[in-house]
Structure 1
Amino acid sequence: AAIRDVGRVKDIPLTDVDRIAKMIPAIPGKPITIPEALETVPALKEACDESPYLRELVDTAAKLEGVVRNAGTHAAGVIITDKLITDYVPLHRPTGGNLEENPIGSVTQFEMQILDDQGLLKVDFLGLSTLTVMARACKLIQERHGVDLDINSIPVDDPETFELLGRGDVLGVFQVEGVGMRRYLMDMKPRELANVIAMVALYRPGPMEFIPTYINRMHGNEKVSYPHPTLAKIFEETYGIPVYQEQIMFAAMELAGYSASEADSLRKAISKKKAKALGRHREKFILGAVEKGVEKATAVAVFDDWENFARYGFNKAHAADYGVIAVQTAYLKAHYALEYMTALLSVFKQDTDRVAIYVADCRRMAIDVLPPDINTSELDFAAQVNADGQAAIRFGLGAIKNVGHGPVQAILDARNEGGEFISLEDFARRTDLRMVGKRALESLIRVGALDHLASRIAMLEALDRIIAISSGYFRASEVGQLSFFGEATGVSDSLDIPKTLSNVPRRRLLAWEKELLGIYVSDHPLSPYLEELTKIVTHFSAELEETQQDQIVRVAGEITQIRPYQTRGGKAMGFVTLEDLQGQIELVIFTRVWKDAVRRLELDSIVVAEGKIDRDRGTPKILVDKISEEFKAFEARPMPVAQARPVRQDPDQNPPIERADQQPGNLAPSIDQPLQAAVQDEKPPLPIADAADEKPPLPRAGVADEIPAAFSETFEFSGYPARSNEPVTHSRLLAEVSDEIPVVSISTVNIGDDHTESEPKIITLMLDATGDRTRDALRMRRVHGLLNSYPGTDRFAFLLFEASHRYLLEFPSSSTGYCAELHAQLVELVGEHRIRIETLRYQ
């Protein structure tokens, strides 16, 4: 936080601030200070040594570290007392936000640790959207199947549930739907609730290193051992691995004769790293253990292990709560998939990324998701029966972009009162489109919700007239003139939509669906080519889970994302996301293939890709050997089922995958982006810092070739010209500078110690463009702000260089007072040889 705050105040580019902040390790239970990070993280020290401005950033942040930044409010903590709370704790008003709308009337002035020392009861009340999903699903199950379920009666010992978890079918399952958790569950093959609870506790930074050991011991592939036989019954459920804080408490009671309250005090001392309390407990524990017949060396070793346990110990009650909900949601998905997915889509209907992923999962499970329809859709997603008698999920009107609760409710009220809409005129006369609005109605038309009333293009062309007729009808009704429209006189204002000769292209219709729903519902761009593609592809996206490492596959899909990347060696490669009828496919394209394919790859184009499977990082990805939009380039023959071959280990062509001991950078594309954007259970790996930051370094004083210039919206000029192939040297450019400043006469100027001189001066700062506009803009603001901070009558200008072009940027409304102090700061920012000081002589 200190690094980021200082970086914001000093206008340091966010990418640099983010890179430095991520270099400082964040180990739960074992915080590290900025000075300690400088000593232990070589990359951080190197960055500070190379860039003076980064050294200033880190040094300033180190001085602020530990200072109270602001008074926050605990997200879920509530203090409960037996008397008036003011008898124990001083209160104050909540900070931040609109106090009138804040449901919290007051908060404690004392922070959590002080309240704990006082012995007050603090309870955390957490709100989970998953509980809403479960409640809705249980209601649908009761309506459709007559089975009464609730959070207290959903089974947690069902074999089919654990089979679902073991095969990785966890999308939409609470707490375990991330890529990493899914991979470990597939390795574990949980057999009971305790396995899932342990996984919830272990899957965090720190204890993750014990997951393979836990799985091996669970399956009998590794021997279970205990430091002392007395501990066997306590650590048996976790195969000898200390996972829960409660295990430490019970072990202290059994091994050293602790009381329950003393054991809880030991737990707090270990988890909070209280040095004095730990010292007291060490003596007490060793003495008590020896008195109960435990060897002193064993007691010392056990206590030392427990001190290390502080950084990963987890509260079992918390893990059990989450584990139970995880198993219960898995049960609902295993036995009542339609109802559960309907509830899941309804709760997350505003998150289009999640909706897209969950709809793809529905289709994988052979559950149809029908497009929105004003005659059958509800506000949320709803379970319905198709004309062929098959159950399906109907898209909710509230999930359409630009269509809020108010417009949908106006349509539903009209439908509930008078039944289904039989024509466009019927819809306009029964629904007050003033309540719906033009934007919402247009979105409904675009996604096909009114397709049974008229063609989309005709309704869009007559949109204003439709709204005008509906508005006129309801205004007349409100003033008692409804008979004018035919109720009593038989006269009516008909709504005749003229037939249009043009049809909306199918591709545009699908684009509207993608834009407003987040997915393709009525059709898919691949559908017209499906027959041809099935002859040449070997796998669709849902089938990639069954592939083996290095298996050769061929896939096809629509390009939804292209992410270029530059390797550490300066070679270009890229990441491409495809979407087929079943989901998304991630492609990794190395330099050899990328340099030929990048010119042909375009968003929304349909391509076929061939390559080998990479399963080392969770979700299967394809390392592409061949990619083309020409289907004929691929033979219509089956690919080999499995053909393992070694992966080429070219350090310049391997994608930047971070190891656990590497520090993240800031430029890597996310290979797992589609799932991560929706679930956010596990952050995608980023490359190490020195590989990620390909930007030119900020300047060191006097090094002209490293100096970036600055461009911004505030200081706009004619823009970057096309780059010239002719190399431009600084010496040649500097020699030509005088031609660009005709209003001054050049003479030697001495810099004084104060801000006043007999003759005004003009200071010209010569800056070179880096090509990164954001970085350059921040630099220009810093230089401009520094000059403005010294009052005086001197003038200044920026001379900007881009390729073979020069731009003189003047500030007629600004002035400065040039002095030795200002000169020293400018030298540090831009270099001494990039500053020209001239006497200003007006002609």
Structure 2
Amino acid sequence: RYLKELRPTDIHDINAMVALCRTGPMESIPEYIRRKHNPRLIEYLDPRMEDILKESYGVITYQDDVLLIAIKLAGYSWLQADTLRKAMGKKIPAVMKAEREQLVAGFVKNGLSEEKAEKLWSLILPFAAYGFNKAHAASYGKVAYQTAYMKANFPAIYMASVLTAESGDVEQIGEIVAECTRMGITVLPPSVNESFTGFTVIKADASPSSPIDYRLKTVDYSGIRFGLTTIKNFGEGVAHSIIEERKRAGRFASLSDFLRRIKDRNLNKKSLEALVKSGALDEFGERGQMLANIDRILLYGKETAGAPQGASLFAAAGMESVTDITLTDAASASTSEKLAWEKELLGLYLSGHPLDKFRKLLAGREMNIKRVREELKEGMMAVVGGIVTEARPITTKGGEPMIFAKLADFTGGIEVVVFPRVFNEHKALFVPEQCIAIKGRISHRNGEVSLIAEQVKALA
């Protein structure tokens, strides 16, 4: 929000926001923004401060500013200034009181009035909470600028990189996929014809094995594919075998072609089931039918691996040349089955979502889980809808049952704490895959946001 109001015009603005967006200095942000947009508001408590604060429109921004003010306006030596820095870092009241007396006395001795000396101390005091030094702010600011540039100009490539960096953290992956959806980037299940090991940018009208041209932007990409090694129960060795074979001889034309060309002995029943359930073989058939024929598929693979089309299977038996596999009829997998398999093997839903039928209802609500986590403060009330993804029952010291649950919507997830009274009234709703709405109170503890449930009902 502050960055939108600021509308940065150079790297110094970004560095300043990095430094000021912290407990204590944060109260200076509105003034920084006002002065940037209206230079006539810029003023200095003392003319000697202009050399120090000119870059930040007269607002004390960095820990360095405090040290230079102490040196220039209070007559501190660099050693004394470093002692002040350490005192601010430790935040010990008695030490800060002694530093205040010494600093204010120095200001007065060097020409400031008592009133201005006290005013200057009041501007410095917030940095005792958490002042940021300029070198750190510049480093973080540069990274922020670079990543923002990449996200704005090469969104698919950037988001694929973020997904790869967060591989293994299912909750983070879910939130990033939701962000991709908001950005208009399609995230697709893995594919034996398009996926590499990690998350892969899919280029429109080009072979997936060709190198990525980093000059290309959004319109040149059709989406991001999950990587083959992101599939649970699927070995890295088999994934490499698939990728190398695809590079060697091109895309797999059919299920039969895939089975004939992949000779890896680790392509067993478990790994084949993982490929089918995750959607990696979708272009070759329907998941339910392939799963019902898994033994037939496995046998065909063993008998034909490495055999060119037309080669003899069992010459001694007088059998004919290799033909494509024929699958027996079977019921198609239901949408709920597909979603459950994706959740099991990829950690989240991709081809759809159990909340899809409630999408319009949830979109019409004032709050979603992402906004609750980012915007609401301790004790505020919120109403959110979502699906229960996890439910962990415990027993209180008084012997009563309660539960810690995870609730997720299209924007992210949040922990829900359900105390005995509410749990006893609604225990049937706190089971995985149940879609519910919760009214509760926000709690911030150890840097985590949770929702204390007070009222619960099923979504309908």
TM-score by length of 2: 0.70
Deviation at 1:511, TM superposition (A): 1.3
Aligned residue type for 1:210: P
Query: Of the candidates 422, 433, 452, which is equivalent to residue 253 of structure 2?
Result: 422
Say whether the 8 Å CA contact 1:459–1:497 is kept in structure 2: no
Cα gap change, 1:620/1:548 in structure 2, threshold over 3 Å: closer, same or farther? farther
Cα gap change, 1:497/1:461 in structure 2, threshold over 3 Å: closer, same or farther? farther
Cα gap change, 1:249/1:558 in structure 2, threshold over 3 Å: closer, same or farther? closer
Q: Is residue 628 of structure 1 aligned with residue 458 of structure 2?
A: yes
Deviation at 1:600, TM superposition (A): 3.6
Task: Tell me the residue number matched to 1:210.
Answer: 25
Q: Secondary structure at the match of 2:284?
A: coil
Task: Tell me the residue number matched to 1:523.
Answer: 352
Q: Is residue 596 of structure 1 aligned with residue 425 of structure 2?
A: yes
Say whether the 8 Å CA contact 1:270–1:307 is kept in structure 2: no
Structure 1 CA distance for aligned equivalents of residues 268 and 71 of structure 2: 68
Structure 2 CA distance for aligned equivalents of residues 335 and 613 of structure 1: 39
Task: Tell me the residue number matched to 2:93.
Answer: none
Task: Tell me the residue number matched to 2:271.
Answer: 440
Cα gap change, 1:576/1:215 in structure 2, threshold over 3 Å: closer, same or farther? farther
Query: Of the candidates 333, 349, 356, which is equivalent to residue 151 of structure 2?
Result: 333
Q: Secondary structure at the match of 1:598?
A: helix
Structure 1 CA distance for aligned equivalents of residues 230 and 395 of structure 2: 38
**What do the CA deviations read for 1:96-135 (whole angstroms, capped 9, x no partner)?**
xxxxxxxxxxxxxxxxxxxxxxxxxxxxxxxxxxxxxxxx
Deviation at 1:360, TM superposition (A): 0.8
Aligned residue type for 1:451: D
Deviation at 1:605, TM superposition (A): 1.7
Deviation at 1:538, TM superposition (A): 3.0
Deviation at 1:224, TM superposition (A): 8.8
Deviation at 1:577, TM superposition (A): 3.8
Say whether the 8 Å CA contact 2:303–2:313 is kept in structure 1: no
Q: Is residue 344 of structure 1 aligned with residue 183 of structure 2?
A: no
Structure 2 CA distance for aligned equivalents of residues 218 and 348 of structure 1: 34
Say whether the 8 Å CA contact 2:151–2:159 is kept in structure 1: yes
Task: Tell me the residue number matched to 2:229.
Answer: 398
Task: Tell me the residue number matched to 2:389.
Answer: 560
Aligned residue type for 1:520: Y
Cα gap change, 1:344/1:433 in structure 2, threshold over 3 Å: closer, same or farther? same
Deviation at 1:604, TM superposition (A): 0.8
**What do the CA deviations read for 1:662-693 (whole angstroms, capped 9, x no partner)?**
xxxxxxxxxxxxxxxxxxxxxxxxxxxxxxxx
Structure 2 CA distance for aligned equivalents of residues 286 and 390 of structure 1: 61
Q: Is residue 200 of structure 1 aligned with residue 18 of structure 2?
A: yes
Deviation at 1:301, TM superposition (A): 10
Query: Of the candidates 195, 198, 207, which is equivalent to residue 377 of structure 1?
Result: 195
Task: Tell me the residue number matched to 1:149.
Answer: none
Aligned residue type for 2:458: S
Percentage identity across aligned positions?
32
Aligned residue type for 1:561: E
Cα gap change, 1:440/1:351 in structure 2, threshold over 3 Å: closer, same or farther? farther
Cα gap change, 1:483/1:561 in structure 2, threshold over 3 Å: closer, same or farther? closer
**What do the CA deviations read for 1:611-630 (whole angstroms, capped 9, x no partner)?**
4896999989696545125x
**What do the CA deviations read for 1:234-283 (whole angstroms, capped 9, x no partner)?**
2455576655343244335533677xxx63x4454444569xxx9xx99x
**What do the CA deviations read for 1:118-155 (whole angstroms, capped 9, x no partner)?**
xxxxxxxxxxxxxxxxxxxxxxxxxxxxxxxxxxxxxx
Cα gap change, 1:231/1:551 in structure 2, threshold over 3 Å: closer, same or farther? closer
Structure 1 CA distance for aligned equivalents of residues 267 and 342 of structure 2: 20
Structure 1 CA distance for aligned equivalents of residues 170 and 285 of structure 2: 27
Say whether the 8 Å CA contact 1:218–1:239 is kept in structure 2: no
5+ unaligned residues in a row in structure 1: which ranges? 1-165, 167-184, 632-843
Q: How does 1:482-497 map to 2 (within 5 A)?
A: 485=313, 491-494=320-323, 496-497=325-326
Cα gap change, 1:232/1:394 in structure 2, threshold over 3 Å: closer, same or farther? same
Say whether the 8 Å CA contact 1:577–1:584 is kept in structure 2: yes
Say whether the 8 Å CA contact 1:544–1:620 is kept in structure 2: no
Q: How does 1:110-121 map to 2 (within 5 A)?
A: none
Q: How does 1:70-469 map to 2 (within 5 A)?
A: 166=1, 185=2, 189=6, 191-192=8-9, 193-203=11-21, 208-216=23-31, 218-219=33-34, 228-235=46-53, 242-255=60-73, 263=78, 265-272=79-86, 293=111, 312-384=130-202, 391-434=222-265, 436=267, 438-460=269-291, 463=294, 466-467=297-298
Say whether the 8 Å CA contact 1:540–1:582 is kept in structure 2: no
Q: How does 1:544-583 map to 2 (within 5 A)?
A: 545=371, 556-562=385-391, 576-583=405-412
Cα gap change, 1:377/1:592 in structure 2, threshold over 3 Å: closer, same or farther? same
Cα gap change, 1:472/1:270 in structure 2, threshold over 3 Å: closer, same or farther? farther
Cα gap change, 1:474/1:447 in structure 2, threshold over 3 Å: closer, same or farther? closer
Say whether the 8 Å CA contact 1:538–1:554 is kept in structure 2: no
Cα gap change, 1:299/1:569 in structure 2, threshold over 3 Å: closer, same or farther? farther
Say whether the 8 Å CA contact 2:394–2:401 is kept in structure 1: yes
Aligned residue type for 2:242: I
Structure 2 CA distance for aligned equivalents of residues 444 and 621 of structure 1: 37
Cα gap change, 1:392/1:622 in structure 2, threshold over 3 Å: closer, same or farther? farther
Cα gap change, 1:288/1:560 in structure 2, threshold over 3 Å: closer, same or farther? closer
**What do the CA deviations read for 1:50-79 (whole angstroms, capped 9, x no partner)?**
xxxxxxxxxxxxxxxxxxxxxxxxxxxxxx
Cα gap change, 1:311/1:604 in structure 2, threshold over 3 Å: closer, same or farther? closer
Which one has the bigger helix percentage?
A: 2
Cα gap change, 1:475/1:587 in structure 2, threshold over 3 Å: closer, same or farther? closer
Deviation at 1:371, TM superposition (A): 1.8
Structure 1 CA distance for aligned equivalents of residues 417 and 202 of structure 2: 40
Cα gap change, 1:199/1:568 in structure 2, threshold over 3 Å: closer, same or farther? farther
Number of corresponding residues:
425
Aligned residue type for 1:628: A
Query: Of the candidates 579, 590, 606, which is equivalent to residue 435 of structure 2?
Result: 606
Structure 2 CA distance for aligned equivalents of residues 451 and 577 of structure 1: 31
Say whether the 8 Å CA contact 1:610–1:626 is kept in structure 2: yes
**What do the CA deviations read for 1:697-724 (whole angstroms, capped 9, x no partner)?**
xxxxxxxxxxxxxxxxxxxxxxxxxxxx
Aligned residue type for 1:339: I
Q: Once superposed, what is the RMSD of the aligned Cα atoms? A: 5.3
5+ unaligned residues in a row in structure 2: which ranges? 36-40, 91-95, 206-218
Cα gap change, 1:585/1:312 in structure 2, threshold over 3 Å: closer, same or farther? closer
Structure 2 CA distance for aligned equivalents of residues 472 and 407 of structure 1: 18
Say whether the 8 Å CA contact 2:293–2:328 is kept in structure 1: no
Q: Secondary structure at the match of 2:187?
A: strand
Deviation at 1:212, TM superposition (A): 2.4
**What do the CA deviations read for 1:302-361 (whole angstroms, capped 9, x no partner)?**
899989967744321111110121133123323443332122223333433222111011
Say whether the 8 Å CA contact 1:548–1:613 is kept in structure 2: no
Say whether the 8 Å CA contact 1:541–1:584 is kept in structure 2: no
Structure 2 CA distance for aligned equivalents of residues 621 and 187 of structure 1: 29
Q: Which has the larger radius of gyration?
A: 1
Q: Secondary structure at the match of 2:387?
A: strand
Aligned residue type for 1:606: C
